[in-house]
Chains A and B, each alone.
Chain A
Amino acid sequence: MVSTSVRSLTYAQAVNEAFHQEFERDPSIILMGEDIAGGAGRSEFEDAWGGVFKLTGGLIGKFGPDRVRDTPISENGFIGAAVGAAATGLRPIADLMFVGFVGVCGDQIFNNMSKMHYMFGGKVKLPLTVITSTGAGVGSAAQHSETLYSIFVHFPGLKCVAPSNPYNAKGLHAAAIRDDDPVIVFNNKQLMGGVGGGIHVPEDSYEFPIGKADRPKEGTDVTLIGISYTTYQCLKAAEILEQKGFSAEVIDLLSLSPLDEDAILSSVKKTRNVVIVDEDYPKCSMASELSAIIAEQAFDFLDSPPIRLSAPHASVPYSPVLEAEYIPSPEKIAQAALSILE
């Protein structure tokens, strides 16, 4: 990448660009959710919000209220409508504002979205994308700060991706929308708020393949596996380790289901040490799954046991001091790596 050609976008701008390009490309794409335009049905306030995280701004002005639908506060209703719309030929995107709201639409996601293709013997396709926000760090307390992708990954029939920067966010949203299966895109709030933004994002439309991890930093001493925001934390931890003379490789998971086992295992077999960094609750989590896979399939290559660095098995605190302690920090990641390396 030549520095003069840098086209710097924030995460939210990159996703918004993907939506605009996909909407132009395919007239069967529609978008539903709470405040995705904003205006509560009053045309004078149209596009007042563009989504809580500004991912969907400008769409209603360009593509109209037939394709961009502000919905009532009923996740069960509009997610269910999206499942039905997908089954009957549209390509809907549904915005589940906070991932913790899965409790009020779990039936549509776990019982209909994930199983319809199977239950109808492959005769029904659900080309549906659900976008949702995850993560702590913005003072949203226990019910609006969860990560929870692990429980979606648990279900067969759902593809799950978690972008980590504006570049892969644009490419993964395009890939999710074009995919003929249900895909859930987990967007971290801190990344949407601008953290890790300002990198080059090509203007042309592109896809980032679902099922592939990325390797944003090569190294030889230890593999740090990050997911979404924790990839950003891992890259910072790699800098700390560099200063201490250790070379960390960072694997950016990106796709949680399906999982790019090859990328994970080949990195771990090279470095022989691994620290898995995950902001989700620790039990029965992505971190557990990764640790188990590595132990089971790369046992003889490991010089040390896999280390998981997750949020604690506790609800997300409202207190900013405790919340800062809650998310795995670069210092803690570096410390965990050093506990193996030194």
Chain B
Amino acid sequence: MSRRPLLLGLAGAGLFVAALDAYVVVTLLPAMTGDVGITIENFEQATPIVTGFLAGYVVAMPLLGAYSDARGRIPVYVACLAAFALGSVVTATSGLWSFAQLPWMVAGRFLQGLGGGGLVPLSLALAADLYRGPSRAVALGSVAGLQEAGSVLGPIYGATVTAAAGGLGGWRFVFWLNIALSLLCGAGLLAAGRRQDAMTPAGSVIDWPSALLLGLGLGALVFALYPDDPEHRAVNALFVPGGAVAVVLLGAYAWRQVRKLEPLIPRDLLRSPAFFGTTAANVLIGAALIVTLVDVPIVGRLVFNLEALDSGLLLTQFLIGVPVGAVAGGLIASRIGNRITAIAGMAVSAAAFLQMSSWTANELDLHAGPLRQADLALAVCGLGFGLVIAPLTAGVLALTRGQSHGLATSLVVLARTMGMLVGLSTLTAFGLYRFHQILGTPVLNDTDLRERVKHLERLVGAAFLQEYREIFVIAAALCAAALLVIALSLRPAHKSGGI
């Protein structure tokens, strides 16, 4: 067997495992938060468990590609896997000791994100090192596809593994499993890639000032968007100063990168409306996509009263829709062009979100023929996202030379992850605020404690339903905004690759 597919396969497997963990917690959050002392009335405190991972992911992604130029792809990749595994250990042990509570869990998730985020540029760079010519695009596409697939499969993976490993630590088993998987991938890469690093040129070092600016900027952004008192306000009390600090720090980071990366990102690309349009569209798509990945399982748990596994399985139709849409998107774009295809994809997802905004508590009982209406809406929503992913990625690749495909694909993933981070933080803050507004302070006069709690559950379920209906409307608006950006910024080409 050739060494190249083995190396790429192992790197892709590690990346896939790390990408799974981005949203693996969505269906596990109630159990995880309970074990670190967070109760339903303080659920906003759970937000950093998801955003912590994304922040680490975004910080590491733009930094470690260049670092691996100096240190070698595989050693840096294995170091990232080790960081990811260490973060998994920290996360898995949360709640086991009095000192290992929420901050411990968030630290573990951040460390996981740092390691996992580093794997994206490293896998892409490794693919670019290993392959030349037409094979390179296929290799890069495979790596990007694994990252995307891991992200969207995460919630259902977490629920399934937890259900299967009920006697082995429940949710903790998901994170313990990461250690074995990381060891397998890391050991395989070290064994198969001994000669690889000798070929890697030296030269670059890690840009610590940029890392600091990006890390602190994202930290300030997540802090500014953290809902510290959702009962009384939608944003943090320090939203304005925190947001200002974030803008300054992230602006400084961008300024450094524009200057520093000019040789890497062609000037033409930076000035291209299509590039900015695609990046902006990906940010918006990331924000809308996170609504489905995170909020649909939560609706399943809190509104439809599904078990963890069933709430994860609620995403199945969405997950089927995405790859079907991706394949269809590629085919359609080759006939009618990337712009129209991407616009159609966003229109389809927006329409699906609008349908979801009318969901009721008994939505799962409503059928259209043999299919549940909710499943249909989710499948259509996934189809729309699938339709748009391929044309946008192909469009960015068409703007860059072959040797920059890795960078370009990495930027697409980065933009989408950034959109997910900001979208999740913002919509969680909004959602919790609206939840408290809708629920108010109900007075329960049932005669028995059990009955009062049941009564409250019904009220909470109704409030959550209304909250998520509004979030689905916002998601539809995000899709519409992405549609508009695509329509305004991309050229009406007639073939795939020319946006």
Do A and B truly interact? no
B: which residues have CB within 8 A of A? none
